[in-house]
Amino acid sequence: MSNAAERRETSGATTGGLLRFVRRQGGDAAVAEVIRRAGVDATADELDDQSRWWSYDTRIALFSAATEVLDDRRTMFEVGAAALKTGLAHGLVLLLRSLGTPRQVFRQLPRAVQKFSTTSTMEILEAGSTSATIRYRLHDGYPHSRLDCDYTQGLLSCVPQIFTLPAAEVVHDECQSDGHPACIYSLTWHRRSRLPWRRREDAGADPELLALRGQLQILQSAATELVASDDVDTVLERIVARAAEAVLAPAYLLAVHAPGGGEPLVHAAGLPSDRLPQLAAALLAGDDMGAGAVVVDVVSARRMHGRLAAIYRAGDDAMGDESAMLAAYAGHAAAALDLIIALQEARTEAARAGALLALAHDLAASTDAAEVSELVTAALPGIVGCTTAGILVWDAASASLRSHSAVGHDGRADELLRTTALRAEDVPELVGMLTDREPQILRAGTSSPVLRRLLDGLGTTEVVAVPLIADGVFLGAATAGWRRGEAPPQLDGDVLARLRGVGDQATTALQKAHLLQTVRHQATHDALTGLPNRALFLDRLTTAIVDTRPTTHLGVLFCDLDRFKQVNDTLGHAAGDELLRQVSARLRAGVRPGDTVGRLSGDEFAILLPGLEEPSDADGLAARVLACFDEPFRLEGTEVRVGTSTGVAVLTEDTGGAEQLLRRADAAMYRHKHGRRTPTRG
């Protein structure tokens, strides 16, 4: 039988007491044999856990197995009679002792039974100073067991022993197993002995002293166990498990505030999972949990963590001052939480510091703006503690912010980010950032309509956005976001400071990447026309030669302007520069999308023609280039006609490389220029 499917009908205090008795009689081997014969799918430790409950069937199966293993038909009576030493929780013994007399204990027994079983009802018919009559009835639907009856008699007999009196004698003439409506137990016991040597013997075995020692050991053990835990969830789980050793109850509920903010952390035993959020909210809010709940604060000198409750069934109440016992335990739990949270905060800060150093190292080696954005975005959740993060880049031409990189979103949200442009004219928060250059704390519920729709679509409720400013220029923004209930209480403190620190690193890295990109562009492009220069053109030509498939052809078109020197001499160099810019624009407009136009030097241009189906296709492209010069150019308000000479070379098997192919095209161009005829192919 698995506890996950077990009905909560028998307390772990009962099963644990049984196994402790068996262990005293026959050792661990006897315990293992009892569990095996009972067919219970649980360990001895699980059966000894007082926060766990088991079905009535499991209870009787264990009773029967123990009787067989110990080979004594009175086993269950002895188990019950030894409960003060092996079965009853120390806290319950102290509660019962505080009632003052056996008579008062017997009067409270119906309430005590609820701590051990939900399958029976006890009624006190008479309770005097030395006698009591008790009616005990198993609920309908459960097969009565004489073993359970024997166990109950043993438990009842030890009540006077709580007060260092001799055990009660039990007369049991009516048993439910014999067809009677209920079991009737008649108990008698003697008054306290007046003999001094008897009192001394009794004092040595005083159940109250034993219970106090046991309770102290439990508290010490609990404190040690809790402090030994290495995370908050483990501590909370152990708090609930250990609470049963302070106060026996059918159910427990623990709700504490999440250390970093967000939804409360909830652990429970014996409660339906679908009710936990509602019950936890009521517990933390201090609402009345009903007469059947013992509620204490889990509070230390440093902070109020939350609340712990032992919960009884409707109609059942707590016994005596159980809140004091639970509060003593909750104090240890609070101290343990203080320590674990402090350790976790230290670990988190160390991890964040490590992440910052790693980010700085990675950014120092990055020379690409896209890579910088990806590195910063990936590092933000670990450094800031956010759920989502991203880099938005400012597009001055459209006066809008667009997503450059993002993490923490699903595919639908990623698509929404990629296709959304935040324009200054539509988003007042963006205008504010552009104006005062200060961070913005954005909340879905109070944002402008466009921003609210975006945040709702992303499933994000809070966002901190830090502007990225370099030399007074707005580059974009770094963002950290949280889903509902996940954001820390304060966003304008450490969270903002950490995000600003990352933003400063991102700004420096982006600035460096843009500078390097500019330098690389200047080194590989013509400053006047923006076209690839000779070095970049040859590099692309070399790559194209390698990539050319056997089924296609690669060509190079070389062209040189006619009358360019005359334009410079008559209209000036400014007009000549303008002519070169207009020529480059016409050439780019006249070639195919995959072709590359380069300016090699002066008035010399070259065009890379990949993917030709036939070598003769290059001649058609050359004709298109010549057509680009049909219309005059307008320079200094004057129309100027300029022609060009072209030459084409197509890659063949004996072509040595990029330089040789370019020289062949150059030679063909010279033949065209000096021959004054149609373009030639080299």
Tell me: the pLDDT tens digits for 438-474? Answer: 888 899 889 999 999 999 999 999 999 999 888 888 8
Given a cut of 80, is residue 371 above it in pLDDT? Answer: yes
Task: Report the mean per-residue pLDDT for the chain.
Answer: 84
Q: Residue 199's pLDDT is what?
A: 47
Cβ atoms of 669 and 560 within 8 Å: the answer is yes
Q: Residue 221's pLDDT is what?
A: 56
Q: Residue 215's pLDDT is what?
A: 52
Mean pLDDT in residue range 316-321:
62
pTM for the structure as a whole: 0.51
From CA 115, how far away is CA 430, in angstroms rounded?
62
Q: Which helix (H) or strand (E) holds 443?
A: strand 440-443
Residue 213 pLDDT level (bands cut at 50, 70, 90) = low
153 vs 653, residue with greater confidence: 153
Report which listed range, 156-170, 184-198, 304-318, is most confident: 156-170
**E strand residue ranges, 292-360:** 293-299, 304-311
With helix as H, strand as E and coil as C, how does 613-666 read? CCCCHHHHHHHHHHHCCCCCEEECCEEECCCEEEEEEECCCCCCCHHHHHHHHH
Given a cut of 90, is residue 486 above it in pLDDT? Answer: no
23-79 residue pLDDT tens: 999 999 999 999 999 999 999 999 988 778 899 999 999 999 999 999 999 999 999
Residue 92 pLDDT level (bands cut at 50, 70, 90) = low
From CA 599, how far away is CA 240, in angstroms rounded?
78
Alpha carbon of 42 to those of 6, 39, 218, 222, 519: distances in Å? 11, 9, 23, 23, 71
Mean pLDDT in residue range 571-590:
92
Mean pLDDT in residue range 290-313:
85
431 vs 19, residue with greater confidence: 19
Residue 197 pLDDT level (bands cut at 50, 70, 90) = very low
82 vs 322, residue with greater confidence: 82
Helix, strand counts (H, E) of the chain: 23, 23
CATH architecture of structural domain 3-205: Alpha-Beta Complex (3.90)
Given a cut of 80, is residue 682 above it in pLDDT? Answer: no
List phi, psi (to 5°) of 94: -65, -40
498-531 residue pLDDT tens: 888 888 888 888 788 777 777 888 888 998 999 9
Q: Residue 37's pLDDT is what?
A: 95
Given a cut of 60, is residue 201 above it in pLDDT? Answer: no
Given a cut of 80, is residue 677 above it in pLDDT? Answer: no
531-544 residue pLDDT tens: 999 999 999 999 99
CATH number for the region 366-512 comes to 3.30.450.40
Helix residue ranges per DSSP H, 286-321: none
Q: Residue 78's pLDDT is what?
A: 93
Q: Residue 195's pLDDT is what?
A: 46
Given a cut of 90, is residue 90 above it in pLDDT? Answer: no
Tokens 């949200």, residue located: 413
Q: Does domain 209-343 have CATH number 3.40.190.10?
A: no
Name the amino acid, one letter, at 104: Q
Residue from 420, 423, 413 nearest 388 by CA: 413
Residue 343 pLDDT level (bands cut at 50, 70, 90) = confident
Given a cut of 50, is residue 200 above it in pLDDT? Answer: no
Lowest average pLDDT, out of 11-15, 348-352, 503-507, 649-653, goes to 348-352
Q: Identical fold at 209-343 and 534-681? A: no
Q: Residue 2's pLDDT is what?
A: 42
List phi, psi (to 5°) of 479: -125, 145
Residues 6+ apart with CB under 8 A from 632: 639, 640, 641, 642
Q: Which helix (H) or strand (E) holds 391?
A: strand 388-395
From CA 146, how far away is CA 176, in angstroms rounded?
9
Name the residue ranges covered by the structural domains of the chain.
Answer: 3-205, 209-343, 366-512, 534-681
Q: Residue 86's pLDDT is what?
A: 65
553 vs 359, residue with greater confidence: 553
CATH label, 534-681, candidates 3.40.462.10, 3.40.1390.10, 3.30.70.270, 3.60.110.10 = 3.30.70.270
